[in-house]
Amino acid sequence: MSTLLLHHPSFANHKTAAGHPERPDRYRVVEAVLSQPQFDTLLREQAELADLGTARNAHSNRYVDGLEAARPEQGYVYLDGGDTMMEPSTWEVVLRAVGGTLQAIDGVLTGRVQNAFVACRPPGHHAETERAMGFCLFNNISIGARHAQQKYGLMRVAIVDFDVHHGNGTQQIFYSDSDVLYASTHQMPLFPGTGAAAETGVGNIFNSPLKPGDGGAELREAFQQRILPALDRFAPELILVSAGFDAHERDPLGSLTMTADDFGWVTRELMNSAERLCDGRLVAVLEGGYDLQGLADSVASHVGELIKG
């Protein structure tokens, strides 16, 4: 079966302030690299607008309603200091990011495709139940996990996050939910300050913090010794991946030293787990990655492995 790519021209909208690392060029370089001939086998679909109600599966009514009411007609509205903002085009962008995530999960869980990659922005894994932060407004991956549970009756969903920043929002949303496993490698100390190994939820949280300067060897050790065994014990029916590529050695927002090959290795390992545990069902959603060359190379490696099946 094929690999599904969810994309949309609007993801190049959501204009951020001058000098902001989460900028439209991120989406443009991802689109460019995935337009190369080696990706011709991708099944490409445009991300649809999500029904706003789906966001309420991971966020409070107060938060969703407040965010909708805060939409500006011009200029910027700042939601979390100077980092997280909305402008007039943002609302469509974030609803398509949610919609694309749900489409990808539908495609995989109905058996139409084997796996999927959602090339969206802005990222989502810092958004908490009632708080936008770290460039994130809606927590796409968490909304997707709830969708898989509610629409398809899945009892065990795993979320694996290898962004350089800890997905505090995803952890907060599922901290007391034994039906969702959250596993993360990330740099510590670093924004947002969460993600210590001692944060274990109800036995469903598996954090593997890395030190500044750590690279592929330490990433492999974290996965082989902690995260992959946790997946085996949990036996998920679906694996969701918060695919952030800002742990790349070129990235300006972190101090880890991963390469595109390291992200390829992680992808292969997660696909092997998915094949063994849940019939290969895996959906990856783009999170961070702020050096354009590092992002392009890493996405190419990641999606290249998804295509291999």
What are the residue numbers of the active site? Answer: 126
Residue 31 burial (CB count, 10 A): 18
Taking phi first (over 0 means left), then psi (-120 to 50 degrees means alpha), and beta for anything else, what does residue 153 get? left
Residue 48 is given by DSSP the state P
Residue 68 burial (CB count, 10 A): 11
Please report the DSSP string for 278-294 in residue order.
Answer: HTT-EEEEE----SHHH
CB 21 within 8 A of CB 252: yes
C-alpha–C-alpha distance, residues 42 and 289, integer Å: 22
Residue ranges of alpha helices (H) inside the chain are: 25-33, 61-69, 90-109, 140-152, 168-174, 216-222, 228-234, 260-278, 292-308
| C-alpha distance from residue 162 to each of 76, 86, 97, 259 (Å) | 30, 26, 19, 13
| C-alpha distance from residue 290 to each of 53, 100, 222, 243, 263 (Å) | 30, 21, 23, 13, 15
| C-alpha distance from residue 34 to each of 25, 38, 101, 158, 298 (Å) | 14, 8, 18, 26, 11
C-alpha–C-alpha distance, residues 185 and 167, integer Å: 10
Closest CA to 100 of 153, 47, 136: 47
